[in-house]
Amino acid sequence: MDSAYVIAPVVGLLSAVHCIGMCGGIVGALSFSLPEAERRRGGRLLAFTLAYNAGRVFSYALAGAALGGLGALAVAAGDTLWMTRLLRGAAALMTVGIGFYILGWFPRFAVVERVGEPLWRRLEPLGRRLLPMRTLPRAFLFGTVWGWLPCGLVYAMLISAPATADALGGAVYMALFGVGTLPAMAGAGLLSGRVLGVTGGPAGDATRRRLQVAGGSLVVLLGAFPLLFQGI
């Protein structure tokens, strides 16, 4: 399952357009919610941006640990080789599904978001109470709440986390995915939604679509590779 630790951050990086589309507005709003004096100091703005993104990645890691632990129990309860192959195959298929989702060819993939909606309804008021973010620890805590925001892409990665068959492995797997999303999400916070110049107008829409096609296609190839060449 070592290849999964390479695939996870790459999927996070290639999902940039999806991440910006879903959370770019949130990140921009968070940056603008900071006191003007903090926003004008580049170092402080960067620190706050990294703090709430670190909280988000921490929540991903916690969820990954739980799912990785379940995978370990599944492997221990059955035929080890058969169950390991089953989990790895499911993870590879899930990666292909993520690629199609990024491409916009599989919109129903987002149905997995409904799984987390009851939990989010309970956590979202807590997140509101942490605003405005005045300190870095408060920003980190807000990020830990934000990390549970229902997201089809994140949940799809979580569904593949049991293939690590280890709680620590699941945590690392999801943390690496979160790290892969950092360039887009941190950039959105620092540039207030104008990341890479892909927002706004027909030219921006065309550029965004090209990035979406390129990223989604590469993710499909990443998922298909172990299915075709690693004997899963």
* CA R_g for the chain: 18
Higher pLDDT, 93 or 64: 64
Q: How far apart are CA 31 and CA 33, in angstroms?
A: 5
The pLDDT of residue 74 is 83
Question: Which has the closest alpha carbon to 4: 229, 232, 223?
Answer: 223
**Each residue's pLDDT tens digit, 109-142:** 667 777 788 888 999 999 889 888 888 999 999 9
The pLDDT of residue 196 is 41
C-beta separation of 171 from 128 below 8 A: no
Task: Report the mean per-residue pLDDT for the chain.
Answer: 80
The pLDDT of residue 205 is 64
C-beta separation of 170 from 64 below 8 A: yes
Percent of the chain with pLDDT over 90: 24
The pLDDT of residue 197 is 43
Q: Centre a 10 Å sphere on the Cβ of residue 60 and count the other Cβ atoms it contains.
A: 28
Which amino acid appears at position 160 of this protein?
S
Range of the domain at 82: 2-229
Higher pLDDT, 88 or 54: 54
- Start-to-end CA distance of the chain, whole Å, equals 11
Higher pLDDT, 83 or 8: 8
Average pLDDT, stretch 30-53?
79
Average pLDDT, stretch 3-18?
83
Provide the pLDDT confidence category of residue 176 given band limits of 50, 70 and 90.
Answer: very high
Higher pLDDT, 10 or 65: 65
How many domains is the chain partitioned into structurally? 1
Higher pLDDT, 185 or 209: 185
C-beta separation of 157 from 177 below 8 A: yes
The pLDDT of residue 142 is 93
The pLDDT of residue 232 is 55
**Each residue's pLDDT tens digit, 194-218:** 344 444 555 556 666 776 777 777 7
Question: Which has the closest alpha carbon to 16: 197, 159, 223, 200?
Answer: 197
Higher pLDDT, 187 or 146: 146
Percent of the chain with pLDDT over 70: 80
Provide the pLDDT confidence category of residue 193 given band limits of 50, 70 and 90.
Answer: very low
Q: What residues contact residue 103 under an 8 Å CB cut-off, 6+ apart?
A: 212, 213, 216, 217, 220
**Each residue's pLDDT tens digit, 144-158:** 999 998 887 888 888
